[in-house]
Amino acid sequence: MTDATAASQNDASGTASNGDGSGLYLVDGSGFIFRAFHALPMLTRPDGTPVNAVLGFSNMLLKLLADARAEAVAVVFDSKRLNFRNEFYPDYKAHRPEPPEELKPQFALIREATEAFCLPCLELEGYEADDLIATYARLAQEAGRQVTIVSSDKDLMQLVRPGVGMFDPMKNKTIGPDEVFEKFGVAPDKVVDVQALAGDSVDNVPGVPGIGVKTAAQLITEYGDLEALLANADKIKQPARRQKLIEFAEQARISRRLVLLDENVPPPKPLDELRVREPDHQRLIDFLRAQGFRSIVSRVEMEMLKDGRIADGAGSSAAPTSAAPAAKDPAAAPSGEAGERPARKTVLNVPEVRYELVQDADTLRRWVERARETGVLAVDTETDSLTPATATLVGVSLSTEPGIACYIPLAHGSSTAAAGQLDFDAPPPPVQIPTTEAMAILKDVLEDPSVLKIGHNFKFDHQLFARNGIAVSPVDDSMLISYVLDGGAHGHGMDELAELHLAYTPIPFKEVCGTGKSQITFDRVPLDKALAYAAEDADITLRLWTLLKPRLVDDRMVTVYETLDRPLVPVVADMERAGVRIDKKALSDLSQSLSIRLAEIEKDVHALAGQSFNIGSPKQLGEILFDTLKLGTGKKGKTGAYSTDSSVLEELAEQGHTIAQRVLDWRQLAKLKSTYTDALQEKISPVTGRVHTAFALAATNTGRLSSTDPNLQNIPVRTEEGKKIRRAFVASPGHKLLSVDYSQIELRLVAEMANIQALQDAFRDGLDIHAATAAQVFGIPLEQMTPDIRRKAKAINFGIIYGISGFGLGRQLGIAPGEANAFIKTYLERFHELKVWMESIKSFARQHGYVVTLFGRRCYMPGIQDKNAARRAFAERQAINAPIQGTAADIMKRAMNRMPGALAAAGSNARMLLQVHDELLFEVPEAEAEDAARIVRGVMEGAAHLGVPLVAEAGIGDNWEEAH
């Protein structure tokens, strides 16, 4: 974004002031601490002190200082003691629980942070931050200064007025009169009257019982204000409401006093002291470094380098640059001359950016040259759809160094004419390099082994270039680097990482293309907007890479990235591009027959219920079953609604209630129809005639892939009806489908990682593992094994993988938790190594906040230190499961990475199409099927060399059901 854009955005948002440096930002420090603490994943300093809220706070200030430009910023805190409201209403905020343990040490650190930023801290005993904010807002407004309250607290919304706005730093959204009206249904000056009636359970403000915000707003709108309403309470038509208003009139008045902010508290610092100040950079860096905030520090340092502040070793004493004139120094500049001061551009600002629109071949060649010099090139493609296998390439953006980027439009049309529509009045399309020519110029550098290409989710771009005959290499992916470094700690989308690491909000896609029905494709975006958006993406990608790449070495995660995730990009890109063939006719026939059967069942169910209702509505169904028909009492969930999930319905069906069984049938068929037979047909590409899923490489907490749009990892297989859908996945003419899956990989990995001798022996002997464990645990010889005992052992084996609990196992087996606990006890005695291993994992997780797979992948477990026992227990089960599931995922990735090479070396024409966690699906010329099966099994079984053998089983067929 250019500075001009940034400035205009600020103005448009209404948060900026007159630009004369007299504006004032009042940050609700206390409010922010709590919100940041709960919104951000737990982070600790090397010494164990939690600092997540401190990081959020620092990032927020940094961003604010960059955005606020010429404004003064002050941070306001609550005083620790009780405040004046408790004097007339002792219960005020009485139900507030103690702050969480991890938050307590952060209060002091946040004050330190404020001081490190050289910002004034405002607090006053006996008053809340909100009262101070109200007072300073009034004072500043009277002095003609524009005020922006940085908070999202609804209690502050009463202060919004001309000259006083609010800004929500977490949502990055301004709050003006319109937003206040949306929330309270009245103008800001009536907010306290509404709050007085509606009350607030969080702050323990009583209000009037039975009246919520909606009703309160309606009443205040009708009567003008609270006193007028109370005076006319007897005229209210609704009897219950009238009575409550009369009865609780005094309580409403007290509530109003509680929520009304005091604008006249004695200000702890004179308003004039709240002026723009130049931060002491060295002090700030020292503080941030002490908290271990590396990315933030390097950002500040980068800025200082740019301004020549580090070269001479000086911090704040360095000579001011032209962008930060001496008048900034409060000592040198007597207050009161604010009007003459030019807008400040602090060193904390996002550096100046230069984005160029490339519309001719020579300019593009210059960018290619530049990339050859720097050796790195961030690349991002823009298309007209999210399916890269079939999307049209609309443009390419490049960045060679931070702040320097370009956009090369290739297929932009006229922005006013609708796509494919003839409009002779429309302006002609813009000047663009023909796609083939641009690709020819780019091919050299994209395939140049000495230029590293950097993308964010490059799998997408890889496909587009592959379709243009370009095999991009070598490639780094900032999304995957982030995933390897911080998997489980947060998401890895570019916008989220930009917020987190760069304290910057990229231009939202919807701002460029709109949303919903009026959304346009990127080829219809005007070039100036396309440039700002697309070039920014390449710029941010490069910046993120610069920050994250060195951490791979520091955190010893290079091997995981280099051997598992990085090589996967071209492999999975080719799978997505290949797509899978679907028999559309089979699906549409299935849809039709399902429609008929659903209609029949629906008729039955309505007859059994004695009335017509929506079976698809769990709410209506619950009411029919338990209120109307009174089939048992029903159990209610958190929301107070009856649960009608399959376990409940199955129980009713067993008691002989036909309707429950019929609803179960209906549910199953409705699911199959809506999720699979209908939706899948629409996902067949008209271009390739196949379905192209997207495999997410950085979505799961354990290292698995996931599949979306459509999800091809959850195609039915368990029921007979479901298998019909799987039969619609077919091979091309002359081809077969080959499915190869790992046998019991997760249980083998438990035996390996926990070093369970007896279990390892059983696997080495090639025994039926569930029968073998049953024999060991229940002491029954294999020859006497019964299916029921084997079933129980199987359930325990699965339970182990999930981080077993007696309750869960009991529910699975339909036995009492106590009985299940006895099974677990015996199991752990027989396989005593397991218990030791599980304890060591949990202890490791508690100590480090993450767990590790056999191949070194880290999975962060934010909940492991939670004070709440249930949440902690949940995290402990995750901690047991993640290394098992994650190691299996690692092994599968190793196999996938070796697969194309192994197939090519053997001269096989098999194509890998899908991965379903422990299964790979291939399409292979009929005559080669058996050979391919042998090669694939070899690669999969050889993907890791462990104490237990890995076994892969292959199946061949004309469709997926047959091959599986």
Indicate if the alpha-carbon torsion angle 346, 350, 351, 355 is positive or negative.
Answer: negative
Q: What whole-number distance in Å separates Cα of residue 765 and Cα of residue 774?
A: 16
Tally Cβ neighbours within 10 Å of residue 829.
11
Q: Rule CB under 7 A: is residue 347 a binding residue for DNA? A: no
Closest separation in Å from C-beta 468 to DNA: 27
The one among 125, 654, 709, 953 contacting DNA by CB under 7 A? 709
Q: What 3-state DSSP class applies to 922?
A: strand
Does 672 contact DNA by CB under 7 A?
yes
Regarding 719 and contact with DNA (CB under 7 A), the answer is yes
Using CB under 7 A as the binding rule, whether residue 599 contacts DNA is answered as: no
Question: Which member of 668, 732, 743, 755 binds DNA (CB under 7 A)?
Answer: 668
DSSP conformation class of 438: H
Q: Closest by alpha carbon to 435, among 469, 458, 385, 459?
A: 469
d(C-alpha 744, C-alpha 688), whole Å: 36
Regarding 710 and contact with DNA (CB under 7 A), the answer is yes
**For DNA, the closer CB: 260 or 845:** 845
What is the DSSP code (8-state) at residue 310? S
The answer to whether the CB of 183 falls within 8 A of the CB of 173 is: no
How many Cβ atoms from other residues are within 10 Å of residue 623's Cβ? 17
- Minimum distance of DNA from residue 639's CB (angstroms): 4
3-state secondary structure at position 740? strand
Within 596-715, strands assigned E span 690-691, 694-696, 706-708
Q: Is 439 in the site for DNA (CB under 7 A)?
A: no
Pick between residue 502 and residue 660 the one whose CB is nearest to DNA: 660
Q: Which residues of 630-664 are buried (b: 16+ CB within 10 A; e: fewer)?
A: ebeebeeeeeeebebeeebbeebbeeebebbebbb
Q: Which residues of 300-317 are buried (b: 16+ CB within 10 A; e: fewer)?
A: bbbbbebbebbeeeebbe
Are the C-beta atoms of 703 and 890 separated by less than 8 Å? yes
What residues from 278 to 337 belong to the interface with DNA (CB under 7 A)?
none
Of the listed pieces 212-220, 267-275, 379-387, 666-674, which binds DNA according to CB under 7 A? 666-674
Nearest residue (CB) to DNA, 299 versus 690 = 690
Q: Is 664 in the site for DNA (CB under 7 A)?
A: yes
By the rule CB under 7 A, 796 interacts with DNA: yes
95 binding DNA? (CB under 7 A): no
Nearer to DNA, 328 or 492 (CB): 492
Shortest distance in whole angstroms from residue 799 CB to DNA: 2
CB of 671 to DNA, least distance (A): 4
Residues 6+ apart with CB under 8 A from 71: 16, 17, 21, 23, 24, 25, 148, 276
Q: Which is nearer to DNA, 120 or 622 (CB)?
A: 622
Q: Are 379 and 386 in contact (CB under 8 A)?
A: no
Q: Closer CB to DNA, residue 588 or residue 646?
A: 646
Which member of 102, 919, 923, 961 binds DNA (CB under 7 A)? 919
With contacts defined by CB under 7 A, name the span among 19-27, 351-359, 711-719, 930-938 that binds DNA. 711-719
Reduce the DSSP state of residue 377 to 3 states and report it.
strand
Which is closer to DNA, CB of 115 or CB of 623? 623
Residues in region 172-231 near DNA by CB under 7 A: none
- Which of 556/619 has CB closer to DNA? 619
Q: Does residue 906 touch DNA according to CB under 7 A?
A: no
Q: Which is nearer to DNA, 105 or 722 (CB)?
A: 722
Residue 39: DSSP 8-state: H
Supply the DSSP string of 452-515, one letter for each residue: EEEESSHHHHHHHHHHTT----SEEEHHHHHHHHHTTTS---HHHHHHHHH---PPPHHHHH--
Chain residues 797-826 in contact with DNA, contact rule CB under 7 A: 798-799, 802-805, 807-809, 811-812, 817
- Least CB distance to DNA at residue 680 (A): 8
Backbone dihedral angles phi then psi of residue 737, each to the nearest 5 degrees: -95, 140
Q: Strands, DSSP E only, in 323-435? A: 354-357, 376-383, 393-401, 404-409
Ordered DSSP codes for 933-945: HHHHHHHHHTS--
Q: Which is nearer to DNA, 83 or 702 (CB)?
A: 702
Sheet holding 147-150, edge to edge: 121-122, 72-76, 24-28, 147-150, 164-168, 173-175
Q: Which stretch binds DNA (CB under 7 A): 58-66, 277-285, 372-380, 696-704?
A: 696-704
Determine if 509 is a binding residue for DNA (CB under 7 A). no
Choosing from 917, 924, 933, 960, the residue that interacts with DNA (CB under 7 A) is 917
CA atoms within 13 A on the CB side of 899: 32
Smaller CB distance to DNA: residue 524 or 917?
A: 917
Contact segment (CB under 7 A) with DNA among 209-217, 267-275, 532-540, 916-924 equals 916-924
Burial class from Cβ neighbours inside 10 Å (0-12, 13-18, 19+) for residue 239 reads: exposed
CB of 382 to DNA, least distance (A): 22
Spatial CB neighbours of 520, under 8 Å, sequence gap ≥ 6: 513, 514
DSSP state of 622: H
Residue 178 Cβ vs DNA, minimum distance, rounded to whole Å: 18
Min separation Cβ 551 and DNA, Å: 22
Is residue 713 a contact residue for DNA (CB under 7 A)?
yes
Contact between 795 and DNA by CB under 7 A: the answer reads: yes
Q: Which of residues 839-898 bind DNA (CB under 7 A)?
A: 868-870, 873-874, 877-878, 881-882, 885
Could you say which of 432, 681, 700, 853 contacts DNA (CB under 7 A)?
Answer: 700
Name the β-bridge partners of 395: 382, 409
Residue from 671, 764, 791, 934 that binds DNA (CB under 7 A)? 671
Residue 342 sits in the site that holds DNA (CB under 7 A):
no
Structure tokens at 608: 């059994």
- Out of 412, 549, 667, 748, the only residue in the binding site for DNA (CB under 7 A) is 667
Identity of the residue, 452 or 572, whose beta carbon is nearer to DNA in the bound complex: 572
- Is residue 595 near DNA by the rule CB under 7 A? no
Determine, following the binding rule CB under 7 A, whether residue 918 of this chain makes contact with DNA. Answer: yes
In angstroms, give the least distance from the CB of 742 to DNA: 8
Smallest gap from Cβ 419 to DNA, in A, equals 24
CB 83, min distance to DNA, A: 30
- Closest to DNA by CB, 18 vs 617, is 617
In whole angstroms, give the CA distance from residue 664 to residue 670.
Answer: 10
- Please select the residue that binds DNA; options are 215, 316, 711, 744, rule is CB under 7 A: 711
Q: How far apart are CA 617 and CA 631, in angstroms?
A: 18
- What proportions of the chain, in percent to the nearest 5, are helix, strand and coil? 50, 10, 35
Strand 147-150 to 173-175 pairing: unpaired
Binds DNA (CB under 7 A): choice among 163, 429, 430, 722? 722
Copy the structure tokens of residue 498. Answer: 């930009």
708 binds DNA (CB under 7 A): yes
Instruction: Provide the pairing of β-strand 580-582 with 404-409.
Output: unpaired
Is 685 a residue that touches DNA (CB under 7 A)?
no
Q: Which positions from 607 through 646 interact with DNA, judged by CB under 7 A?
A: 614, 616-620, 622, 637-639, 641, 643-646
Work out whether 707 is an interface residue with DNA (CB under 7 A): yes
d(CA 121, CA 143): 21
Q: Does 773 bind DNA (CB under 7 A)?
A: no
With CB under 7 A as the contact rule, the residue among 24, 271, 916, 935 that binds DNA is 916
Count of residues interacting with DNA (CB under 7 A): 73
- Cβ neighbour number for residue 87 with a 10 Å cutoff: 10
Question: Whole-number minimum distance, CB 674 to DNA, in Å?
Answer: 3
Rounded least distance, CB 175 to DNA, Å: 17
Tokens at residue 79, please? 């005083």
Q: What residues form DSSP beta bridges with 173?
A: 168
